[in-house]
């Protein structure tokens, strides 16, 4: 070995606990060690922030194609009937997003105030997708079933999970849509 303990540089990195943990970085000079750690931390933060800042700068993430495939929608809530108690409702249904702004519903079962109804396949509708904040990857949109309810949509670009809330008057109804196949 060359040098003494004061000038010898030793780097010891331990990855076994977490990949982000830098357990020790020893340099003979503590001022140099502190400067090195501050520089390393600044570089990591700069690269991380750059990746977030341009999350959807190209505008290609929040598109109609982000929702494409078969999903299952499950929601609960209430219908508010003037002069009566709110009526509970729940629904579970398949929704096929076609990736082009159109959708179909191959099957659905709804409970309204305890009365169960199953719907025949063939329901149709449309949806829109937008990016409310280009500095973020969050997407939003709308969904309208032909002759039926309307919803606001909220999701991330991979489109695996979508949160929906009904926007028709006298409804308190929200749920989650989860992708089950392409």
Domain ranges of the chain: 10-53, 64-181
Angle at 172 between CA 94 and CA 89, to 5 degrees: 55
Question: pLDDT tens digit string along 27-37?
Answer: 445 554 555 55
The pLDDT of residue 23 is 37
Q: Is pLDDT of 91 > 90?
A: yes
Report the chain's terminal Cα–Cα distance, integer Å.
Answer: 60
Distance from C-alpha of 128 to C-alpha of 150, rounded to nearest angstrom: 12
| pLDDT band at residue 134 under the 50/70/90 scheme | confident
Q: Is pLDDT of 166 > 90?
A: yes
**CA dist 99 to 56, 68, 127, 178, Å?**
19, 4, 10, 15
Burial (CB < 10 A; 0-12, 13-18, 19+), residue 86, is middle
Q: Domain 64-181 class?
A: mainly beta
Torsion angles phi and psi, residue 42, rounded to 5: -65, -40
Indicate the pTM of the whole model: 0.67
The pLDDT of residue 13 is 32
Q: Is pLDDT of 40 > 80?
A: no
Does residue 25 sit in helix, strand or coil?
strand
- Percentage with pLDDT > 90 across the chain: 58
The single-letter DSSP state of residue 29 is S
The pair of structure tokens assigned to 96 is: 């096929």
Low-confidence winner among 22-31, 106-115, 139-148 (lowest mean pLDDT): 22-31
Q: Is pLDDT of 22 > 60?
A: no
The pLDDT of residue 130 is 93
């Amino acid at each position: 070995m060359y040098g003494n303990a004061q000038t010898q540089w030793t780097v010891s990195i331990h990855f076994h606990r977490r990949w982000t943990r830098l357990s020790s970085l020893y340099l003979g000079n503590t001022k140099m060690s502190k400067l090195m750690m501050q520089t390393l931390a600044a570089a990591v933060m700069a690269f991380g922030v750059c990746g977030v800042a341009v999350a959807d700068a190209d505008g290609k993430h929040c598109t109609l194609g982000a929702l494409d495939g078969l999903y299952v929608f499950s929601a609960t809530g209430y219908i508010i009937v003037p002069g009566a108690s709110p009526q509970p409702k729940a629904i579970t249904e398949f929704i096929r997003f076609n990736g082009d702004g159109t959708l179909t519903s191959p099957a659905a079962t709804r409970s309204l105030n305890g009365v169960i109804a199953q719907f025949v396949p063939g329901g149709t509708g449309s949806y829109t997708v937008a990016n409310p904040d280009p500095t973020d990857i969050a997407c939003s949109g709308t969904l309208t079933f032909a002759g039926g309810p309307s919803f606001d949509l909220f999701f991330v670009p991979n489109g695996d999970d979508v949160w929906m809330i009904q926007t028709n008057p006298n409804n308190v109804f929200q749920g989650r849509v989860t992708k089950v196949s392409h």
